[in-house]
Structure formats: C-alpha cells, structure tokens
Amino acid sequence: MHTIDKADEAQLLATIDRWVEREVRPRVKEFDHADKWPAEIVEQMKELGLFGATVSPEYGGLGLPATTYAQIVMKISAVWMAITGIFNSHLMLALAVEKFGTEPQKRHWLPKFASGEVRGGLALTEPNAGTDLQAIRMTARRDKGDYVINGTKTWISNGIEGSCFALLVKTNPEASPRYSGMSLFIAPKGPGFTTGRKLEKLGYKSIDSGELIFDNYRIPADHLIGEVEGRGFTQVAGGLELGRINVAARGVGIAEGALQLATDYAQLRQTFGKPIIEHQAIALKIGEMATRARAARLLTLDAAQAFDRGDRCDMEAGMAKFFSSEAALENATESMRIHGAYGYSKEYDIERLYRDAPLTCIGEGTNEMQRIIIAKQWARRSAA
C-alpha cells in the first residue's frame, strides 16, 4: 500500500491547483473547440510527474495512493476532464506491468512509463466487443520466440498519439471458459501495427480516441505480461477497479465544476431585482447539486481507500463510478439550465462540461453493467 504524508499531499494538491488555474483554464477553450492535441499541456504533465503518479518510486514514479490520485483527477476534471484521460489510460498500462509483470519487464518499462518517455494506454475494445471483453477476436499465435498478432481495436484512448499499449488478445481462441484463453501483451508501435482514423466525439475533445490495426504484427515472447498465457482477463479486471475510481473522480470533478459555475452565475445574474440564486426555483437546484457533488466525492474516496487497503473493491468502485457519473450528468444539465441561453453558448465553460459528462456514464463499463456488478457483490456479501 502506497502512503503519503498529509502535508506532502496538501502541497501536491496545491501545486495541481496552481497549474490548472495558470496553464489549463486559460487555454482549454482553444484546445477543446479545435479538438487539438494539447502538446504543451502534456509536456507540463510530464514535468509534474502525472504519467508516473501511481507507479512505485523504485521505478521512478510518485507512488501516490489512489485517494491522492483521485483528488488530483477531481481538481483537473472540474476545469477540463479530457486531459485526465491522457494519463489515466497510460497509468492502467503501467499498473498492469507493475502488478503482474516479471521483474525484468518492470525494470525495463516502468521508468519509461513514469517519465512519460513512453506513453500509451489500454487496448481492450473491439468493434464487436466492449463490455463483454470475452468476445474479443484479436489473436496472438506463437511462432518460435515471437507472437504474431492480428485484429483490430477501436475507441482506444491515446491511440494516435500514444506509442505503447497493454493489448488484450486471445492466445487460445478455443479455450473454455473463454477468459482462460486470453493474454495481455506490452505492445509498442512498430511494423504491422498501424493506427486508423481518429474517431470524432461529442465531447472529450483533444485526447485522441483511435483505431489500432494489427496485420501480422510480430512481438517478442517476453512482451507477454507475466510471461504466462491465459492470465490476461484477470490482469485486466484488476486494473479496471482503479480505472473506475478514476472515472468516478472525473464525475466528481464535473459535478463540482458545474456546481461552481452555476453558483457563480446565479450570484451575478439578476431577475426581478435580485440575484437568481435568491429565487426558490434556483435555490432548490443548487441545493440538490451540492448534495450530489458531496455524496459523489465521499463515495469515490471510500472506493479509493478500499483500493489502497488492498481490499476487493469492485462493488465500491462500481458504486462510486455509477453515482458520480450520474451526478456529473445531472449537475452539468442543471447548471446549463441555470445559465439559460448563455449555457448554450460556446463562450461559457458549462457547455464543455455538458458535452463531457455523458462519457463518464459509458467509460470503464456502462452504468447498467455497474448496477449488475453492485447487485451481485451485495448479494454475495450479504449472504456471507
């Protein structure tokens, strides 16, 4: 379990606050509206150590606990959620290697990941396989000292700009149960590995979501994470808990950001001789928004604390992700309505939060799936 002194945590979070206000907020519209890769901001995130946020110090990372990491994501997402995806997907790649890789794999790859020298993400989704990961079709065939990989991935964050991915494939397509034939590889870009089109999105701009195409892509056998076939599904499932905590934290950030924008506007905008926040209809909305944001934060920190203790936390992470993402969507919608016509204008920040919020209800497993996971785990724990 990683730990951090409270004073050090406070200093780190204050540094993130200053960076967001000085560097991110003034330029977010420029990047978001143009759907432009924020190269300068990515370099700053490298300097801040965000690409090694959860990587152990022995491999060059900050070694932050999930609770601190979640708070960083909340702060950034309150202004611009999209850039958190640039380092979150990358950290899930790093987590897979640190948690399940061999020591030589860790020594070789983790320092490169932590510094941001090599950046990438998690390549799971295929055109016919999203939530049902066992339905993937990508295959890896052993050929002496290599594996030869064929297939296509889609909706991969950092797919265009990234250079290395944790790639989920089937090493035994005939295996039963299906998950027992799945393996996870460290897959750097090279011959046979090309990127397709950048997918256009409603929100979540500037971070690239792309297609990855593998045509007889040859990779050394020592790139198999853990160097044992058939463990890929379990390796991915462990990382998804942190991924869902991240998405929950994004939801908290959007919910809190939308609340702050609504509050600021409602205190300035006047109708019938007084600020609109003094009208009961608006006050009721603000009260509900504040409660949702607070509950989302507490659920997310609860899940992060369980993760830091090393507890199984798929239920807690599912609860946090489900509730926080719905809170983000509801608060963004209510904030836009409080802004009235201005909320529909691209000159105001709320329209970005309104476009970004729906992704949190889909990413890292749909909220429909989260509710099923929660119910199953609740039933098991109640029976015990």
- Give pLDDT tens digits for 92-129: 999 999 999 999 999 999 999 999 999 999 999 999 87
- Give pLDDT tens digits for 190-235: 999 999 989 999 999 999 999 999 999 999 999 999 999 999 999 9
Q: How confident is the model at residue 384 (pLDDT cuts 50, 70, 90)?
A: low
- Give pLDDT tens digits for 55-102: 999 999 999 999 999 999 999 999 999 999 999 999 999 999 999 999
Residue 158's alpha-carbon distances to 1, 33, 90, 131, 220, in angstroms, are: 28, 19, 8, 19, 23
E strand intervals along 227-330: 270-271, 274-275
**pTM, rounded to two decimals:** 0.95
Other beta carbons within 10 Å of 162 = 24
What region, left, alpha or beta, does residue 230 occupy, with left being phi > 0 and alpha being psi -120 to 50 degrees?
left
Other beta carbons within 10 Å of 80 = 26
Residue 322's alpha-carbon distances to 20, 82, 131, 226, in angstroms, are: 26, 19, 15, 32
Catalytic amino acids? Answer: 364
Contacts of 219 (CB under 8 A, 6+ apart): 140, 146, 147, 148, 149, 185, 187
Other beta carbons within 10 Å of 183 = 23
- Give pLDDT tens digits for 13-52: 999 999 999 999 999 999 999 999 999 999 999 999 999 9
Domains of the chain, first to last: 6-115 (1.10.540.10), 120-229 (2.40.110.10), 234-383 (1.20.140.10)
Q: Which of 130-144, 165-179, 302-316 has the lowest mean pLDDT?
A: 130-144
Contacts of 228 (CB under 8 A, 6+ apart): none
Overall size of the chain counted in residues: 384
Residue 132 has pLDDT above 90, yes or no: no
Residue 238 has pLDDT above 80, yes or no: no
